Amino acid sequence: MSPQLLGRLGLWAATAAAMIVLPLAFEQGFALSLLSQIGIAVIFALSYNMLLGQTGMLSFGHAVYYGLGAFVSAHVLNAIGEGGFSLPVTLLPLVGGLAGLAFGIAFGYVTTRRSGTPFAMISLGIAEMVAACALMFPGFFGGEGGIATNRVVGEPWLGISYGPQIQVYYLIAGWCFLCMIAMFALTQTPLGRMANAVRDNPERVRFVGYNPVRVRYLMFCLASFFAGIAGALGTINYEIVTAENVGVVASGSVLIMTFIGGVGHYFGPIIGAGLVSFLQSALSTYTKAWLLYFGVFFIVMIMFAPGGISSLIAVHGPPLRHRLLLRLVPSYALSGAALALLLAGCIALVEMTYHVESGAEFGSELALFGIPLEVATAQPWIAAAAATGIGLALFLATLRFVRRAWAEVNATLQAKEAEA
């Protein structure tokens, strides 16, 4: 067995172990529902990256296949509950996947004939069309209220009823693990490799015997299948599916997750799904302005780290292998401290403004990081503005050290490569 394959197996084993142990470490209900949400988002974001990162298709309508998978599985779950027929809930995600696949086959036939901007526009059109259908066909989509369902159906099997959230978590974790492996394996097949070729240069693909339209179509169908699995897990987890699930906002959300995590590496969307889900649930309990922070974070990522978090991690691979990582630490610490000051200043300004804007109902005192601030006086404003200004100046100044440290590391790396 090659060391590369061994390392990969080790990574998968560690991932599985983490997924098993995590809910035991965080026992609160909040953590468990967050972890369940992350598991679903990971499948969804990875399936989206099959389009964006691997085949170069920017879709604005991927939630269509998640949502339709969710609706179909909700109806199937209700039919099971009414005794219409029997199917273990454990296998319900497969129903969602097949529903996603069926709609992917139908809609993808139209959308994947074009690439680039036309593909993006058509995907948006289909998303709008399905969202409009959601209001026109209340029988299937449940109108404003959506379709409610009950995941506890049939007799418990080995004590598993999917009543308690912990059982649902392990169902999601199991499917998430399977899907992660399946989607990774797909990147290692002839179709997966040709998808990358189509992303890079669709014209040339035709002159090595492949039809790029067919490659895009197949990847699209498979991505829809995995999105449908995620949708069915959503149905089981939330026990309700609404029109929002097929909407453009949901499609935008998976795009943002995938982009923040990074489209260039397989593990990028996993990080993005985890981080964005965490921010969505955790940040929103602390501050009403969380969407503002989130938007700024997204813009900053796109502007300064277009490869996402995964590319920021990946650039540290070569220094790590040659034990040069420590040389970067001092400059990172300096810049990090300056950045912290800048962020603290910005956050204080935003929160105080928000406090003032939201009216007198909260009084004029605001507790931020445990510090009481009297927003009716000038001092906290001056302090926050000063922190922002000084933080920004220091941050820009210390970036020089980061650049210098990197230049040294790169020079050493090149010297080592030349030796080899």
Partner 1 sequence: MSAAPPALELRAVHKSFGRTAIINGVDLAIAKGERHAIIGPNGAGKSTLFNLISGRFPLTSGQILLQGDDVTGREPQEMNRRGLSRSFQITNIFPRLSVYENVRCAVLWSLGYRYSFWHRVGALDSVRARADQIVEQIGLARRRERLAGVLSYAEQRALEIGITIAGGADVILLDEPTAGMSHSETADAVELIRNVTEGRTLVMVEHDMGVVFGLADDISVLVYGRVLASGTPEEIRANKAVQEAYLGTESS
**Chain residues in the site for partner 1 (CB under 8 A):** 185-186, 188-194, 196-197, 199-201, 203-211, 214-215, 218, 222
**Rounded Cα–Cα distance for residues 404 and 147 (Å):** 58
Cβ distance to partner 1 smaller for residue 144 or 417: 417
Nearest CA among 195, 180, 45 for reference residue 112? 195
Q: How far is the CB of 293 from partner 1 (least distance, A)?
A: 33
- Report the alpha-carbon distance of residue 283 to residue 287 in Å, rounded: 6
Please answer whether residues 90 and 79 qualify as being in contact, where contact means their C-beta atoms are separated by less than 8 angstroms. no
Rounded-to-integer distance, Cα 187 and Cα 194, Å: 9
Q: What angle do CA 67, 311, 397 make, to 5 degrees?
A: 125
Which residues, in sequence order, are CB contacts of 153 under 8 Å at separation 6+? 77, 80, 81, 89
Q: How far is the CB of 271 from partner 1 (least distance, A)?
A: 21
Rounded to an integer, what distance in angstroms lies between the CA atom of residue 299 and that of residue 305? 10
CB nearer to partner 1: pick between 223 and 232: 223
Contact of 308 with 264, CB cutoff 8 Å: yes
Written as one letter, the residue type at 52 is L
Distance from C-alpha of 176 to C-alpha of 147, rounded to nearest angstrom: 24
**Nearest approach, Cβ of residue 203 and partner 1 (Å):** 7
Paired with 148 in beta bridges are 240
Number of H helices, E strands in the chain: 18, 4
Q: Given the complex with partner 1, which of 263 and 273 has the nearer CB atom?
A: 263
Question: Of the two residues 188 and 379, which places its CB atom closer to partner 1 in the complex?
Answer: 188
Specify the residue, 197 or 399, whose C-beta has the smaller distance to partner 1.
Answer: 197
Smaller CB separation from partner 1, 68 or 263: 263
Residue 141 C-beta: closest distance to partner 1, Å: 32
CA gap 404, 398 in Å, rounded: 10
CB of 126 to partner 1, least distance (A): 24
Q: How far is the CB of 417 from partner 1 (least distance, A)?
A: 12
Q: Of the two residues 51 and 236, which places its CB atom closer to partner 1 in the complex?
A: 51
Smallest separation (angstroms) from partner 1 to the CB of 43: 18
